[in-house]
Amino acid sequence: MASGFFAILDDIAFLMDDVALATKVATRKTAGILGDDLAVNAEKATGFLSERELPVLWAITKGSLLNKLIIVPLALLLNVFLPSAITYILLLGGLYLAYEGVEKIIEYFFHHPKSEHSVIKEVEPETQTIDVDNEKAKIKSAVTTDFILSIEIVIIALGSVIDENLTIQILTVSVVALLATVGVYGIVALIVRSDDAGYKLIKKSNDKGFFSKLGHLLVKALPVMIKVLGAVGTVALLLVSGGIFVHNIEYFHHLFPGVPATIKELGIGIVAGLIAFVVITGFKKLVALAK
């Protein structure tokens, strides 16, 4: 009986080794999309009052985990029973990402939205107001975008272990999905709270010495990081969407063979986004007129 128990442990150990190796390969293949996910979500998780940043980020993280709980089993089932559906789901997701990226560009150039992120400072609690509707809208937008990016991450991870048995597929995709959520939102939390860390360094050092300079650097760097991440996140949306079309539509895959892949994917993402923006905007206007 003892030998049977140890044999089971050996089987589990071998399985874990296989899963670890498969996870390493899958993580490497999804590294690019994880970087895009970080840029997009870091930009979306900013723009709130200091004390609301972590609660909002936690709400987005919970939404991301729920997304993974929906996507992982659905992707595995579709891969078994209806593999062709995965491609169509990816294309619809790519169209949404392209639309969101182009919408952000148009909004920046034509609507000039005011920055909502407040520089860290001591403000009396009663003078601070929480825009609940704005919070809910940004959380919903972040979770929706995360859903699309999560589909891409899960599909790529699944594709890397497509020749393995079902057990390894399930464990590998689940581990990658969990690492994606914990890793991405853990880094986002560090970014959005860096100004608070800087402010505390300034206070504890009495605004003198090395730690004071480091604190001031962190405080001043955050608005720059937010702007950079906002720009990178927008480009990431378009690159991811363009990449989805290039890798899943044969015509786009062979279009402009002499053009670098990144430029081609960005261009296709912009064109797809513009088409989606025109169609959706026109539809909204028609609905408004009908009312």
To 10 degrees, what angle do helices 2-29 and 132-160 make?
Answer: 110
Task: List pLDDT tens digits, range 252-288.
Answer: 888 888 889 889 999 999 999 999 999 999 998 888 8
- pLDDT band at residue 30 using 50, 70 and 90 as cut-offs: low
- Of the candidates 66, 85, 64, 65, the one whose C-alpha atom is nearest the C-alpha of residue 75 is 85
Window from 69-83, 90-104, 229-243 with minimum mean pLDDT: 229-243
Residue 243 CA to residue 249 CA, distance in Å, equals 10
Residue 68 CA to residue 57 CA, distance in Å, equals 16
Task: List pLDDT tens digits, range 78-105.
Answer: 888 888 887 888 788 888 888 988 988 8
Q: ∠34-36-257 over CA atoms, to 5°?
A: 105
* Choice between 89 and 38, residue whose per-residue pLDDT is larger: 89
Average pLDDT on 229-251 reads 83
What secondary structure letter does DSSP report for 130? Answer: -
Half-sphere exposure of 250 (CA within 13 A, CB side): 0
Q: Domain count for the chain, please give it.
A: 1
Could you tell me the residue range of the domain that residue 187 belongs to? 2-290
Residue 120 CA to residue 79 CA, distance in Å, equals 48
- pLDDT band at residue 198 using 50, 70 and 90 as cut-offs: confident
Q: What is the pTM of this model?
A: 0.67
Task: List pLDDT tens digits, range 91-146.
Answer: 888 888 889 889 888 988 886 544 444 444 444 444 445 567 777 888 888 888 88
> In this model, does residue 4 exceed pLDDT 80?
no
Residue 126 CA to residue 49 CA, distance in Å, equals 13
Residue 269 CA to residue 54 CA, distance in Å, equals 32
Average pLDDT on 137-160 reads 81
Which pLDDT value is given to residue 279?
92
Residue 164, token pair as written in the block: 């393995």
